[in-house]
Amino acid sequence: MATDKPSQQVHQQAIPEAQGMAVAASGPAVDPDARPRSIGGIGLDLLTIAYFAFALFPIIWILMLSFKSQDQLFTTYFRFDPTLDSYKAVLGLSSTTESVPFMKYFLNSLIASFGAVAVSLLVGVPAAYAFARYQFKGANDMLFTLLSFRFAPELMVIIPVYVIYQKIGLFDRHLGLIWVYQLITLPLIVWILRSYFQDLTPELEQSAMLDGYNRWQALVKVVVPLVKPGIAAAALLAFIFAWNSFIFPFILTGSNAQTVTVGALAFMGGAKPRYNVTAAAALISLIPPLVLALSIQRYLVRGLTFGAVKG
């Protein structure tokens, strides 16, 4: 990662790779549809199903839980009388004072997570590009400093950040969250995108520069479109991590900027634990990352590949 290599490497691999997944279909994977189905094939399918049963069962169970009423919560397993009460509670449609303004938290999470990823992309793309393309004094130190934040336990900074935020008025503000989320999102994005840029032969943007474009235009018109899968994948991962972050919003927000992770837990307090409402809240909070993932699915697997692998 922090090794000192000449910035102008020629990766002849990069062009065919960037051209897409033409290789994928003909890759090492054997397409079982291309030949008669074997016993082994069915066995492997069963193994696949077994893993997904393990992976998806808890989610299906959470889904069921969200439709259970409070008095059937702990006495029923698969057969119960479904009710929408939990969703009503989450969406603020039930009139009880026990309701939590969850949709407000939902909006807060959207603002904070999107904001954090946007800021990280805005400052992270040029930085990643510079780290990949230029050799300059202190580059490695700066890069490693940036990355080392990912090694830091979040708790290590939380009290100092709390004090600062109180002093400068960022406590319980979206901007405060967006800023502190940079600890999560920025290293991830710089790390992945730097490898991306390194994978891309510099001659593409050099060619653009000779073709009459300035450096900025070359970056925007030639490089960015090529690393789109990487940007999409890195942004999605960063979004998921920011969206799921608990300790930062928990300590650094109050009622104004609180997020879904903290909000969903609020249903676990009170006179009795409302697992069903928490389940509904968890499922509703699943929607944004899911929608995002589905909309960029075609980039995802490819996007992760070449970014992540280069140290």
Residues 180 to 209 in contact with other proteins, rule: CB under 8 A: 180, 182-183, 186, 190, 201, 203-204, 206-209
For other proteins, the closer of residues 88 and 310 by Cβ is 310
Looking at 102, 105, 106, 131, which residue binds other proteins (CB under 8 A)?
131
Quick one: CA dihedral 183, 188, 194, 197, positive or negative?
negative
Q: Is 213 in the site for other proteins (CB under 8 A)?
A: yes
Phi, psi at 211, each rounded to 5°: -80, 15
Q: Is 35 in the site for other proteins (CB under 8 A)?
A: no
For other proteins, the closer of residues 56 and 93 by Cβ is 56
Q: Is 282 in the site for other proteins (CB under 8 A)?
A: yes
Nearest-CA neighbor of 161 among 171, 173, 175?
A: 171
For other proteins, the closer of residues 93 and 267 by Cβ is 267
Least distance between other proteins and beta carbon 235 (Å): 14
For other proteins, the closer of residues 11 and 91 by Cβ is 11
Burial 8-21 (b: 16+ CB within 10 A, else e): eeeeeebeebbeee
Q: How far apart, in whole angstroms, are the C-alpha atoms of residue 151 and residue 280?
A: 33
Near other proteins in 242-261, by CB under 8 A:
243-247, 250-251, 254-255, 258, 260-261
Determine whether 217 is exposed, middle or buried from the number of CB atoms within 10 Å of its CB (0-12, 13-18, 19+).
Answer: middle
Q: How far is CA 131 from the centre of its chain?
A: 23
Least distance between other proteins and beta carbon 265 (Å): 5
Binding mask 86-125 for other proteins (x = CB under 8 A): -----------xx-x------------------x--xxx-
Q: How far apart, in whole angstroms, are the C-alpha atoms of residue 74 and residue 1?
A: 50
Nearest-CA neighbor of 103 among 238, 280, 248?
A: 280
Near other proteins in 4-23, by CB under 8 A:
4, 6, 8, 10, 12, 15-23
Looking at 103, 110, 142, 296, which residue binds other proteins (CB under 8 A)?
142
Near other proteins in 47-86, by CB under 8 A:
47-49, 51-52, 54-56, 58-59, 61-62, 65, 69-75, 77
Q: How many CA atoms lie within 13 Å of 278's alpha carbon, on the beta-carbon side?
A: 14
How many residues bind other proteins (CB under 8 A)? The answer is 161
Least distance between other proteins and beta carbon 114 (Å): 16
Near other proteins in 215-244, by CB under 8 A:
215, 217, 222, 225-226, 240, 243-244
Residue type (1 letter), 119: V
What percent of the residues of the chain are helix, what percent strand, and what percent coil, each to the nearest 5?
Answer: 70, 0, 30
Least distance between other proteins and beta carbon 38 (Å): 11
SS3 state at 168: helix
Q: How far apart, in whole angstroms, are the C-alpha atoms of residue 223 and residue 165?
A: 37
For other proteins, the closer of residues 111 and 241 by Cβ is 241
For other proteins, the closer of residues 47 and 93 by Cβ is 47
Binding mask 144-163 for other proteins (x = CB under 8 A): -xx-xxxxxx-xxxxxxxxx
Nearest-CA neighbor of 289 among 255, 242, 251, 252?
A: 242
Q: How far apart, in whole angstroms, are the C-alpha atoms of residue 219 and residue 37?
A: 48
